[in-house]
Each structure stands twice: as C-alpha cells, then as structure tokens.
Amino acid sequence: MSSDNVLKLLTLFDASEEAEALLNVLRNAGMVVRDTRVEDEEDMSAALEENTFDMILTRYELPLINARQVLEFTTRLGRDLPVVVIMPDNGNQSCAEIMQMGARDCVPLGQPDRLRYVIQREFEDLQNRRALRRAEKMLHETEKRARALIDSSRDAIAYVHEGMHIYANKAYLDTFGYEDIEDVEGMPIMDMVTAEDSPKLKEFLKNYSKGNIEDQSLDIAAKNSEGEAFDITMEFSPASMDGEACTQIIIRSQEASKELEQKLNALSKQDLLTGLYNRTYLIEQLDLLISRAMDGSVQGALLFILLDRYDEIKQAHGIAGSDLLLTDIATLLKEKVGHLGVLAHFEGPGYALLIPKIDAKKAEQVAAGICKLINDHISDIGEKTATTTASVGISLVNETTKRASDTISHAERGSQLAHKEGGNRFNLYNPAIEDLEENEQLTMRAAQIKAALKANRFQLVFQPVVSLHGEPGEHYEVLVRMVDENKQLVMPEDFLPAAEKADLTMYIDRWVIARAIMVLAERHKEGLKSRLFIKLSAGSLCDEGFLPWLAERFKSSHVDAESLIFEINEETGLNFMKQARHVVEGIKQLHARAALEGFGLEQNTFQSLKHLDVDYVKIHGDLIRNLATNVENQEKVKAIAETAGGQGKQSIAAFVEDANSLAVLWQCSVDFIQGHFLQQPATELSYDFEGGI
C-alpha cells in the first residue's frame, strides 16, 4: 500500500461515535484513512507540528473551538491543507460564509454519502496540486540542466516559436556565422535556408505542425550570415523554453560518419526478433503524439495486440517455435496494418500499433479487422503449423491524456479484459467506467471480508522454511486463505487488495496471529518446538493498538514469544519507516523476532537494514527464480546473504522451485530456503525436518 494513497485526517469532533460513523463511510467506500482526533487549538497546533496531514474535518461548533477559528488558524499557517466543515442538519449557519473564509466545502451531518464524495474529490485535488508542484519544481530543475547541456553541446541547437528564433546555443550561432544570440532572436527560421529550399522548409513546417510527418528530420540547403550555402540535416521535436511551447531544432555535428549514424539510429528503433519498431521507439512516438494532442487539435489511439494461447503454443513448439510465430504474425501485421501508424513488438506475445488522427469508432474497426486477420491466419512453424487469435485493447490519446505510461497501461488492461472474455475480440478501455466497476468490486469484496472475519471464515496454511546447513528446529511460514459463502477458498491476491483499501488488513493480521498462537500452544504442549513466520501489513504497522494487543496475547497464552517471527515487506517498511521501526523495536521488547521479506529489489535495499533491526532477511522471489542460469542474480543473492550474515542476520531464499537452485544457494551462503520444491502450503505442520532436503 503506497503512503500516497493513505488519507491522513485531522478531525475535530466532541463525540467519538459521530466521528467514527463518518470515517466508516469513507472506509467502506474503499479509502484508507488514518485519523488523529483533537479537541482544541492547542492540540491542533501540536498535532500539525508533529505530523503531516492531508485534510482537516471539523464540526462547525465545538465546546472548545469552532470552524471559524480552525480556518483562521490554517490561514495563518499558510499550508495547502483543505478544511471540510460538518454543519448541523437544521442550523441556520451560512455555508457560503464559511467557504468564503477558506473552507473547501460544507456538508450537513445527515449527508454522509455526500461527505464521501466531497472528501474523495478534495483528496484527489490535493494530490493533483502536490503532483503539479513537484512537476513544476522538477521542470525548473530539468530546464536548468537542459540549458547547461544545450550550451555545452557540440550539436547546433535552436528553439523556434511560431517560426521565430527564441534561443540558440553557441554551436548554432557558429554554424550560421553569428556572434551573439541577439543576432538571431526574432529572426525567422526561413531566413536560415537558401531561396531555392525555402518552399521545401515551408511545406515541412506546415505538415509538422499538423502532425503529418513521421520522419522528424529534413535535409536542406542552409545559408550563413554571408549568404554562403551549405548542406545540413535539421531534426525537429516538440519542446518548451521558459514554460512556452516551441520546437527544438538540432543540427548534428558532422564529426561522425552520417551513414554509420543513420544505421545505428535505425538499429536503435528496431526489434531484432521481428524487424518491427521496438518498445522504446513506440514510447517516444507516443510521447510526441501526446504532446501534440494537448491543445485538442490532434487525437489518436494505441492498440495493444495480445496473442491468445501463446503459452500453449510455446509449450508445444518450444522457444524457437514461438519465436517463429511472433515473427510470422509481425510480418502479417506489418503487411496489412503497418501503414496506419507505428507498429512495434512490445514484449512477448504483445504488439502495439500507434495510430494518429483516428477516432474511437475507426479504432474499433481497425481492432476488429486485426482480430479477424489473425484468426484467419495459419502460421508455419518449421514443419508444423499453428493458429492463434488476438485480444486487442484500445486506449485513446487526446487532450486529457497525461502520460505515455497511463496510455500503455490502459491499452494493456483492455487487451487483458478482452482475453478474459474469451479472446478473439477487442475492448475499448474507458478508465472512468473501469475504475467505477473496480471500486464496486472492491466494496463488495470488503463486505465479504467483514463477513468472513465475523464468522471466522479464514484458514491458516503452513509452508516449511528449511535450513540449508542442518540447523535444528522447525520453521514454518503462516499463510492465510479466506473461505467464501460457498465454502470455496479465496487466495490472498484476490482479497488482500480490497482489505488494504478498506483498512481491514490489521483485523486479518490479528485473526492470523491469534490462531497461530493457538497452534503454537498446542505444539508446545506436545513437546514440539516450532517457530512461525507471520506477515504484518501496513495496517498493523500504523495501528497504535497493535503492540499492546500483541503483548496481551503473549501474556494470556504463555507461548514463548521467541517462537514468533513477524515479517514486514521491505517496500512497506520503506514507505512507513517510522511506524515499522517502532513496531520492530516493540516486537524485540516482547522477545519476539522480526524479518524483512521481499528483500533485495529496492535501489537503497541495504539502507533499510540500517533502520530496521531485524533477525532474518527473506530474499525477493524475483531474484531466486531461474537462479541457476542467472549470474547477475547469483551475485546479488550472494551479496545479500553475506551482508546479512556480517550483521548477525540470517538469510532466507523464498520461492525455490527447482533442485538446480539448491547448490547455488548453498554456495551463496544462504541460511534457509522455502518454496514449492520443498512442499506446497498445507493445513498441517507435517514436514519432516530431520529427513533432510
């Protein structure tokens, strides 16, 4: 759970039940809320000094403070801190007057559903304002760095707005024989070429402004300040200078061979397997289309083409056969639809087609045509043949499109939805509708989770964690499954995301811990000394009542606390470092142990070990899968194991799926292993630890 998605509320209420009822409306809507309650200006000031909040929710009138005083206080602070005021249902107070003082909105107490939408709107607006400030700061810093790089570049670079020069670097001035930027400021770009080539440049600029140019470069005869002609190649791209949209022109230094440069440039755009454009080039072109679409004059569409049954074909025909299929489909697409736009092999069984100047209806027609094209085609794979179909996702590009990554994500999501419906079809992804449906599903799942908690419809399963070096003792990881109304098991990935959004993970954690302690108590009665690894969610880390509750559990059960090892995901620990450190310290004081799981992928991965004094480090599964053939990952795993060992911590390799990895892990000095290779999660603690691996 990202810390950016947690709503940190400062609330001013005199009745806790009233506040909780309103907060539960937000939580039931899928929002993750962290609430701090204060009652007067002194407490509010102290809370704002110690913590950062996203919003203030206050009653209009309280015994020790009122909404006007709250607004006056926040105005003095000068922070971007939205205030929403809860008004009496039958009061005569003026909402307009309160909003004039700075409140973002007023909501009657008896309209909790309206409050939900107001809070969601204000939180989204706040996040957008923060993102804008970050973007403006980054833009300012980037422009400073870019200006320095431009000035020192050997390539001639100029910026042109509405056909006039607004900036040029020294190399550009030298190229055309000018001494100072003032000599070219305001000069038309048309004055830099010969009279014979002026119509050529004029036509190019006309088509470029309309987005009708695929090749962004132009070979042309230029002239210097003395009127002498010389040949150059101008490269055009959208840019901004001092916040003003303009066009960047680059004239490359001729020190390198032009022919070699063209070959290298072509290779950098090409996917070597299929001969289509590659992912990088497609993203570059998508960025260009998005920048042109910002003023509403241009629109387009990205089609993500996902081959159905690809894994089956790969299993039946091998990697070489599946590569032949990918190449054959690429040739088919290039021949039939390549002329429509930029056609790229994205990755694996995925292709992408970026089409400028197309509306939703025509994009759907193209997608339907692609589905039929692939469905009717038979691919030759060596001496055999194969057929497949395609699921096509469509994402529109228009003035509302913000980022290439969002467009790609939406197109991919559309193809996945089409594939889920049976494949051989297309889906025009609508973020607003899909997000609404997703929220409805999350709300429904949250209700199921609450019902399961109430009815004790959860189940523990256990997976052994085995020493590679013969260390005695039984170790198991505790995993949880939910049992639905039809007595079917629901896997964590299908209910935990909803639990996070509904702020229910802390209750699931407590259920798991309570049951695990009961299991340990029974094992200890039988003389079996087992240790259990239990995952902790961000909800428990941020729950101030968690450690006192855990202490009470240990006290009442008489279970040895050292038998429990609490796992914190590394990403969660980094996002909630202050809370994670507090919980780890508290766990240690209770004589239990702590572990970091999912370790090793973060950039500052070893930094977390400096702040979180854990006993175990569980290495991320992405570093363990296919370890025997991945030398780079072997080096990373060895470095993690040695660093952990040097700090007195033991290392665990999770997701061990094959025997080939065992020897490598032993050589890497890893202490424990866990995975389906040893045993799949089971309801009984039945692994034979004395029998060896």
Task: Quickly tell me which residue has 């602070």 as its tokens.
Answer: 77
Name the residue ranges covered by the structural domains of the chain.
3-132, 153-255, 292-430, 457-691
Beta-strand pair 300-307/350-356: antiparallel
pLDDT at 396: 93
Q: Tens digit of pLDDT for each residue in 330-365?
A: 999 999 999 999 999 988 899 999 999 899 999 999
Helix/strand/coil for 165: strand
Is 403 within 8 Å of 410 (Cβ atoms)?
Answer: no
Q: In the CATH scheme, what is the code of domain 292-430?
A: 3.30.70.270
Q: Tens digit of pLDDT for each residue in 522-571?
A: 998 888 889 999 999 999 999 989 999 999 999 988 899 999 999 999 98
Is 352 within 8 Å of 303 (Cβ atoms)?
Answer: yes
Q: Tens digit of pLDDT for each residue in 594-607?
A: 999 999 876 567 77
Sheet holding 244-251, edge to edge: 164-168, 156-161, 244-251, 229-241, 217-223
3 CB-contact burial (10 Å; exposed 0-12 / middle 13-18 / buried 19+): middle
H/E run at residue 9: strand 6-12
Query: How far does Cα 558 stand from its chain's mean position?
Result: 43
- Report how far apart, in Å, the C-alpha atoms of 336 and of each of 28, 297, 329, 333, 487 are: 50, 28, 11, 5, 50
Region of residue 227 (phi > 0: left; psi between -120 and 50: alpha; otherwise: beta): left
The token duo for 638 is: 């060895």
CA distance from start to end of the chain: 36
Closest alpha carbon to 452 in 414, 485, 405, 476: 485
Q: What is the mean pLDDT of residues 384-393?
A: 94
Query: How far does Cα 40 stand from its chain's mean position?
Result: 39
The residue type at 379: S
Q: In the CATH scheme, what is the code of domain 3-132?
A: 3.40.50.2300
H/E run at residue 540: helix 538-541
Q: 267 falls in which pLDDT band (50, 70, 90)?
A: low
Q: Give all strands (DSSP E) within 300-389, no chain letters.
A: 300-307, 342-347, 350-356, 379-381, 384-386
Q: Is the pLDDT of residue 2 over 50?
A: no
Q: Is the pLDDT of residue 469 over 90?
A: no
Query: How far does Cα 26 stand from its chain's mean position?
Result: 23
The residue type at 13: F
Q: Alpha-carbon distance 430 to 419, whole Å?
A: 16
Helix/strand/coil for 87: strand
Q: Tens digit of pLDDT for each residue in 103-136?
A: 999 999 889 989 999 999 999 999 999 888 888 8
pTM above 0.85, yes or no: no
CATH topology of domain 457-691: TIM Barrel (3.20.20)
Q: Helix crossing, 505-525 with 546-557: angle to 10°?
A: 20
Ranking 271-275, 276-280, 296-300 by mean pLDDT, the lowest is 296-300
Q: Alpha-carbon distance 187 to 180, whole Å?
A: 13
pLDDT at 344: 95
Q: Is the pLDDT of residue 227 over 70?
A: yes
Is 156 within 8 Å of 235 (Cβ atoms)?
Answer: no
Q: Alpha-carbon distance 624 to 302, whole Å?
A: 35
Q: 401 falls in which pLDDT band (50, 70, 90)?
A: confident
DSSP string, 455-515: TT-EEEEEEE-EETT---SEEEEEEEEEE-TTS-EE-HHHHHHHHHHTT-HHHHHHHHHHH
**Residue 436 main-chain phi, psi, to 5 deg:** -65, -45
Helix/strand/coil for 14: coil
The token duo for 157 is: 């670079």
The token duo for 292 is: 């042109």
Task: Quickly tell me which residue has 């014979």 as its tokens.
Answer: 196
Q: Tens digit of pLDDT for each residue in 162-212?
A: 899 999 999 999 999 999 999 999 999 999 999 999 999 999 998 888 777
Q: Alpha-carbon distance 677 to 51, whole Å?
A: 46
Of 636 and 369, the one with more pLDDT = 369
Q: Helix crossing, 492-501 with 505-525: angle to 10°?
A: 130
Q: Alpha-carbon distance 477 to 495, whole Å?
A: 19
| Cα-based angle 3, 8, 10 (whole degrees, multiple of 5) | 165
CB under 8 Å to 516, separation ≥6 — which residues? 460, 478, 532, 534, 564
349 CB-contact burial (10 Å; exposed 0-12 / middle 13-18 / buried 19+): buried
Rounded percentage of the chain residues whose pLDDT exceeds 70? 95
Q: Alpha-carbon distance 609 to 489, whole Å?
A: 36
Q: What is the mean pLDDT of residues 269-275?
A: 86
Question: How many residues in total does the chain contain?
Answer: 693
Which of the four CATH numbers 3.40.50.180, 3.10.110.10, 3.30.450.20, 1.10.10.10 does domain 153-255 have?
A: 3.30.450.20
